[in-house]
Amino acid sequence: MNKLKLPHLAHKDLISVHDLPIGDIQSIYETAATLKKHRDTLTEVLRHRKLALIFEKDSLRTRFTFDIGMQDMGGGAVFLDHRDARLGQREAIKDIARNLERWVHGIVVRTFKHRAVQELAEHCDIPVINGLSDLMHPCQALTDLFTLTERWGAVKGRRMVYVGDGNNTCHSLLHATAKLGMHITVCSPEGYEPNSKVVNEAMLAAQESGAEVRIVNDPKHVARGADVVYTDVWASMGQEDETEERAAVFLDYQVDEAMMAEARPGALFLHCLPAHRGAEVTAAVMDGPHSIVFDNAENRLHVQKAILALLLNDPRYQRKTKD
């Protein structure tokens, strides 16, 4: 079995979940489920396709799952380590784009500035996938809700509580939950709330889906009624000099056994990883019966394979011959 019916996505690139129509998210999830079920037989979906991985930040899950995903489907990946020379420093981003589109069929970029992802996409004929930027983490949020959909059948009407920094993961979760009709409460210390533009975008999407978006500061009893409690590191990559300061500010925002006990019976715990046990989450929660973080980490592979299969196989975005 090596044939897979692949629908067209609305856009060439995956920059933000905000850009995805609900039908595209459903297509990604259906394709991911199929690829997961038939991993050992759907091995030539991306035969002869090549992927560039441009990373300015350290990575375990994103790098391995995109690389292994290409191998699984008969393609290959080339890793470009830009940690010492960030995008646009050694060479203009548009020139990098115009070179890479001659050699590969798609690009995954993991960078600091969100604008760098957008600029790369603007100058490429081939798909550009945001593997993480300072503003968004779309592949993570898509995976989070795919994992929850696997568990529950649907996420619409369920309630997520995100406790911690209003960062890139939080932003993508706001977009994804709002589009899929899942209620979300973000609980962050004052001054660390998510980006107001992202919140407004999520609220507009929520009006169509029937979801509720709430931003609060008080962590006391915030998990009441939650189906899933989510957290992330308090200091993201690039914020290492703020680690001690943030540890003090976020002290009351730790997800512990008491917080999970206030959630609904059978509530789940998620973390995008890497996790710091004893900081944003206790070891008892991270390694306990509520936690599905490693099931979720596995699903990064399958969801990202679906994204690759849908974009890199689309004839509209295949590499064009230059005259």
Catalytic residues: 110, 137, 140, 232, 272, 300
Dihedral pair phi/psi, residue 140, rounded to 5°: -65, -50
- Within its chain, how far is the Cα of 234 from the centroid? 17
Q: How many alpha carbons fall within 13 Å on the CB side of residue 11?
A: 17
Q: Are 167 and 53 within 8 A, CB to CB?
A: no
**Helix, strand or coil for residue 41?**
coil
164: left (phi over 0), alpha (psi -120 to 50) or beta: left
DSSP output for 206-273: HHHHT--EEEE---TTTTTT-SEEEE--SS-TT-GGGHHHHHHHTGGG-B-HHHHHHS-TT-EEEE-S
| Tally of CB atoms within 10 A around 248 | 8
Q: Are 223 and 259 within 8 A, CB to CB?
A: yes
Residue 127, preceding bond cis, omega within 30 degrees? no
